[in-house]
Structure 1
Amino acid sequence: MAMEINETFLKAARGEKTDYVPVWYMRQAGRSQPEYRAIKEKYSLFEITHQPELCAYVTRLPVEQYGVDAAILYKDIMTPLPAIGVDVEIKSGIGPVISNPITSLSDVEKLGEISPEDDVPYVLETIKLLTTEQLNVPLIGFAGAPFTLASYMIEGGPSRNYNKTKAFMYSEPKAWFALMDKLGETTITYVKSQIKAGARAIQIFDSWVGALNVEDYRTFIKPVMNRIFMALREDNVPLIMFGVGASHLAKEWHDLPLDVVGLDWRLPIREARAMGITKTVQGNLDPAILLSPWEVIEERAKAILDQGMETSGYIFNLGHGVFPQVKPETLKRLTVFIHEYSQSQLK
């Protein structure tokens, strides 16, 4: 029998009034939790995600420990890529490393299609376990956006400046748009399978798209993002967009058929509203502040809450993911503060 679900996060994502501000944290599953570190001593990220019971445990742990209002599936944005022919390995201390990088149109044309039930059944099984038996809050599914996935596929791994990616985009537009089409279709198929399995909201991570200016975003990226979100709209779950160092693209995201604009710490919420962003916003405490004394954390969180609560449609989050050095008790205390302070102000 399905558990009763606290839908405060979903209401806020839809722009509805809530009794308090809901909160979840990017990278809340794992990283700083001692239980997770013990698991990681035995298993790699890929090994954890391939074991639904274990992956579900890691996903639900922060809900139980911190009292957050949503869970986010524990996995990596690289998860769907092996299915389409990308030879990727997550190397400790480095990140995703790809041994067959994209260099030409013919490389793009060799890429296959994903069949989630056949290629990533463990992801769907984890979602079903969580949403039918284990969670009392909504589960957020997610995927990497085409630009960010392409940046790894072209660079062969992490990059500081994305020079190869941008050069490919400028000099090989036919190949670039073919790659965007392929990754767009992969994303749609993959995300729809997560929703069908039970995910109640979706976040698209375009982590590195801030490397582009507005004009290039409109030309090379926005068409595929529009197509992705238009396709996902059919499934009637809240859709969230997030990237790092991409404040200059916030208005572009607002134009897309999505529900929630995620902000990193560089763009204050009040400024985002003044720019004309009327949709729900999510964010945006600098995660580095979580390493500060509690008085500083509370002061900064209160200032962000005060801005967020000026309109309905606000979800508290970090401006990027939780660091491994952050103490779990800090996140628990912050969650309690966000709930109690916002409830007192919204009465």
Structure 2
Amino acid sequence: MKASVQVFAPLQNDLILRAARGEKTERVPVWIMRQAGRYLPEYKKAKGDKPFFATCRDPELVSELTLQPIRRYPLDAAIIFSDILVIPIALGLTVANDPGQGPVFADPVLEPSDVDRLNPDPDMTKELGYVYEAITLTRKKLEGKVPLFGFVGAPWTLMKFMVENVSAGPNPNRARRFLVEFPEAGKKLLKILTDAVINHLVLQIKAGAQIVQVFDSYGGELGPKLFNEMELPCLKRIALEVRKKLKESNMEPVPMVVFAKDAHFAIEDLASSGYEVVGLDWTIRPTHARRLAETKVTLQGNMDPVMMFASKDEIRKGVKEMVQKFGTQRYIGNLGHGVLKDTDPDHLGVYIDAIHEYSEEMNASA
């Protein structure tokens, strides 16, 4: 897929890109993890009974689901509707069920020989072309209104799903045990995943993604030792290699976000790992995160998603406190994880509006 053949409308709102690069912004930009999803009635109507992974493979439907929250809210970015588990599928694992309906994979990775049956170098354009087609289509339909996020799962988080079949129920030690019991096979699997992540990100950017996020949803489970030894080198390599490959294709790099949930111990390392933005979950104090990250990166987050079930006044109060602690510069508003499926869309709207309102007030009085 050649980036040069894509022609898109000029960008009208570049707040999130400026914030990611550390440039001055007149207000705090905001987007929401899982903003295209089950909490929206229009999502349920458009998707109907179509299975989840079949939905991901339908570029027209993906584009519609991606655009729904942009029509409803004054968000500063769209994020393509997809899933982190498309990469294990591209590597050769067989889907057993949609997420939330039991084991996702019929053939999980349980021992070193299972790593050997994976395809270490899949044709990503062939296997995941539906993602890139959806990105290009959505960029065109956005008509420059806001930037479009692409995303991937981080190698460790993908490995956890591949080993533990997370949706089948908790089995929190199997993947970490695999890394310790079979360290060479664990490193081999993480390398295969890292290579795939790099290629998937580059192809998303070539298709039209203007900013990308790496979701390490289970990063904190590793603890400092395993995270530093096994996962951090993968995350650093992703940031480095994506930029290198874009440069080789005569393309400008795009801002990159790393979100390692519960990995408080790694904030200083993540701030120096090559990403412009470090995402934060709701369990860390904003002021503490600022001290750890210093001014090296932009921070993103971090309201507890359950706060969307509070009263509208409590949501506004929480936003005001959050923005005051993070400050209005080098900051992107978001939740500390994905929006919950039973969230009232109106309450999320209050959250989004309040971030804009309070940050504009703070900037005006500065």
What amino acid is the match of 2:9?
M
- The unaligned stretches of length 5 or more in structure 1 are none
The answer to which of 114-123 and 88-97 deviates more is 88-97
Partner of 1:24: 31
Partner of 2:233: 223
Deviations 1:137-180 (A, max 9, x none): 11110000110111111113345352111111001111011001
C-alpha distance in structure 2 between counterparts of 1:313 and 1:58, whole Å:
29
Is the counterpart of residue 61 in structure 1 residue 68 in structure 2? Answer: yes
Change (3 A) 1:90 1:8: farther
Partner of 2:209: 199
What amino acid is the match of 1:66?
Y
Change (3 A) 1:218 1:92: closer
Alignment partner of 2:8 out of 2, 5, 11:
2
Partner of 2:4: none
Partner of 1:130: 138
C-alpha distance in structure 1 between counterparts of 2:204 and 2:299, whole Å:
23
What amino acid is the match of 2:162?
M
Deviations 1:290-335 (A, max 9, x none): 001011101111111111216x210000001111111112222322
SS in structure 2 of the partner of residue 103 of structure 1: coil
The answer to which of 212-221 and 103-112 deviates more is 103-112
Matches within 5 A, 1:50-129: 50-91=57-98, 93-94=100-101, 97-112=104-119, 113-129=121-137
Aligned-residue RMSD, C-alpha: 1.6
Partner of 1:38: 45
Q: Is the 8 A contact 2:52 2:98 kept in 1?
A: no
Change (3 A) 1:90 1:317: farther
Shift of 1:92: 5.5
Is the counterpart of residue 152 in structure 1 residue 174 in structure 2? Answer: no
Shift of 1:190: 0.9
C-alpha distance in structure 1 between counterparts of 2:103 and 2:333, whole Å:
29
Partner of 1:237: 254
Matches within 5 A, 1:230-269: 230-234=240-244, 235=246, 236-269=253-286
Is the counterpart of residue 324 in structure 1 residue 332 in structure 2? Answer: no
C-alpha distance in structure 1 between counterparts of 2:255 and 2:192, whole Å:
24
Q: Tell me the number of residue pairs that the alignment of Structure 1 and Structure 2 aligns.
A: 346
C-alpha distance in structure 2 between counterparts of 1:56 and 1:156, whole Å:
28
The answer to which of 19-28 and 39-48 deviates more is 39-48
Alignment partner of 2:194 out of 184, 195, 206:
184
Alignment partner of 1:314 out of 331, 345, 360:
331
C-alpha distance in structure 1 between counterparts of 2:261 and 2:214, whole Å:
12
The answer to which of 120-129 and 44-53 deviates more is 44-53
C-alpha distance in structure 2 between counterparts of 1:29 and 1:237, whole Å:
22
Partner of 2:250: none
- The unaligned stretches of length 5 or more in structure 2 are 1-6, 247-252
C-alpha distance in structure 2 between counterparts of 1:220 and 1:337, whole Å:
39
Change (3 A) 1:261 1:92: closer
What amino acid is the match of 2:161?
Y
Q: Is the 8 A contact 1:98 1:157 kept in 2?
A: no
Shift of 1:95: 6.2
TM-score w.r.t. structure 2 length? Answer: 0.90
The answer to which of 296-305 and 2-11 deviates more is 2-11
The answer to which of 169-178 and 73-82 deviates more is 73-82
Change (3 A) 1:77 1:89: farther
Q: Is the 8 A contact 2:259 2:280 kept in 1?
A: yes
